[in-house]
DNA sequence: GTCTATACATCGATAGAC
DNA sequence: GTCTATCGATGTATAGAC
């Protein structure tokens, strides 16, 4: 290969590094779906990407750093997923679609849902940089809710609990299905009903 | 001690065995609260009850059998907790109290809540006998809900999701507190509002 | 950047004496 | 029923050659 050909916007060396990291993360999600989030083995992970186990330390300084990268990766996937959709239209309709999309996103990958919303790995806390992505998501969620009239803290708490509960039931009892996702409209109308 | 004194209803030998098992389970919950449910070590557990690790196999034939006993123990605690309370009165009031009590129960012990409602241990499935206790609980819950007019499957699904979501938020964000438990009345009125 | 080799800890489980 | 001793597997992490 020609080491200096195609000198584009970014450094090709760090491009390749980023691509490798992306490949490792992709395999890490596969392993997590197979064995559980807490049971990822660095040996298995290295084998899945054609490396020996110590070579992983070139890309992640520890297993917790790998988890942190997965946490950030999952939130980037969620934000990209939301970017592809539009939440214009009436506030009620937007909130219904937002809710349904969140449940669907959770349903598509239960392990990813666990990582983002259940925090099931003892000893793992996301770094500030990674957690910023989570905050970005919460900001978007509260904005869509606020547009539909959900302002008080108690209402926001209830809204968050309902979305979380629907997502959890969907992932736990009907993974990949729509049984709870299809309750989004009913749930939102319930939340928005005047008291 | 006098080995044959006080010969009561049950065999004293199996009484002692049951008491020992209860002690082991109690320590297992303590360890789970400290290290996480999936990170219980049989060595630590044995040490906590004054035994060596292999001696635990006298009482549990495997680690999964220990988890199964914890699962059953947790549901027995929940059923006993509900037995102490009464859910008479108007159906709405009963459902509010039932909901609030469930969230409170979850809040009192996040690890127990995980074991009963989140199933976070890869490879663990409760035995039929243990799962029967879970079914007993679900029967009681649906009865209280049905008395308040929640009959259709979609309504039951939504009710279960709301309780689960409130409990999860309470455990995850305000353990031991009441922030989401105090939303029980609002949540139930929302669920019972005519559409 | 990748490798071999290895350190070092911990785990669940079993064998067999007492 | 409890113990000592130990097996075999697995885990993360590091040292150092190439």
Q: Residue B84's Cα: distance from chain center in Å?
A: 15
> What token pair was written down for A37?
């989030």
Sign of CA dihedral A168, A171, A174, A180: positive
Mean pLDDT split into 10-residue runs, chain A, 195 residues: 46 86 98 94 97 97 97 98 97 98 98 93 94 98 98 98 98 96 98 93
- The predicted pLDDT at position A78 comes to 98
- Rounded to an integer, what distance in angstroms lies between the CA atom of residue B119 and that of residue A109? 16
Residue B6 phi, psi dihedral angles, 5° rounding: 60, 55
Do the chains contact at A169 and B162, CB–CB below 8 Å? no
3-state secondary structure of B37: helix
CATH code, residues A1-60: 1.10.10
Alpha-carbon gap, residue A47 to A3, rounded angstroms: 27
pLDDT tens digit sequence for B124-173: 999 999 999 999 999 999 999 999 999 999 999 999 999 999 999 999 99
Token look-up 């039951």 returns B156
Task: Check CB contact under 8 Å for B161 and A179.
Answer: no
Q: List the CATH code of the domain at A70-195.
A: 1.10.357
Q: Which residues on chain A are in Cβ contact (under 8 Å) with B164?
A: 165, 168-169
3-state secondary structure A77-111: HHHHHHHCCCCCCCHHHHHHHHHHHHHHHHHHCHH
Residue B3 pLDDT > 50? no
Mutant choice from B124, B190, B191 vs A, greatest count of A C-beta within 10 A:
B190
Kindly state the DSSP code that residue B178 receives in the 8-state scheme.
-
**Is the per-residue pLDDT at B16 higher than 80?**
yes
C-alpha A35: how far from chain center: 19
A44 chain-B contacts, CB cut-off 8 A? none
Report pLDDT for A9.
55
- Any strand C atom closer than 7 Å to A7 CB: no
- pLDDT the model gives residue B179: 98
Q: Tokens for B100?
A: 């609030």
Domain boundary assignment for chain A: 1-60, 70-195
In B15-39, which positions are buried (b, 16+ CB within 10 angstroms) versus exposed (e)? eeeeeebeebbebbbebbeeebbbe
Q: Is B158 on the interface with A (CB under 8 A)?
A: yes
pLDDT tens across A25-45, in order? 999 999 999 999 999 999 999
Which residue in B154, B168, B186 is closest to A168 by CB distance? B168
């Amino acid at each position: 290969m020609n080491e200096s050909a195609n000198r584009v916007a970014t450094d090709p060396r760090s491009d390749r590094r980023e691509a490798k990291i992306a490949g490792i993360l992709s395999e890490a999600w596969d392993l997590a779906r197979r064995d559980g989030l807490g049971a990822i083995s660095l040996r298995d992970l290295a084998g899945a990407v054609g490396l020996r186990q110590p070579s992983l330390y070139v890309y992640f300084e520890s297993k917790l750093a790998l988890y942190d990268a997965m946490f950030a990766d999952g939130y980037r996937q969620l934000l990209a997923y939301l970017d592809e959709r539009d939440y214009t239209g009436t506030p009620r309709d937007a909130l219904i679609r937002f809710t349904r999309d969140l449940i669907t996103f959770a349903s598509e990958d239960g392990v990813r849902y666990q990582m983002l919303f259940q925090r099931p790995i003892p000893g793992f806390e996301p770094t500030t940089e990674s957690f910023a992505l989570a905050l970005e998501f919460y900001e978007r969620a509260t904005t869509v809710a606020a547009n539909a009239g959900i302002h008080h803290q108690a209402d926001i708490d209830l809204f968050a609990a309902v979305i979380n509960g629907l997502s959890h039931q969907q992932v736990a009892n009907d993974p990949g299905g729509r049984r709870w996702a299809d309750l989004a409209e009913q749930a939102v109308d319930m939340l928005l009903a005047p008291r």
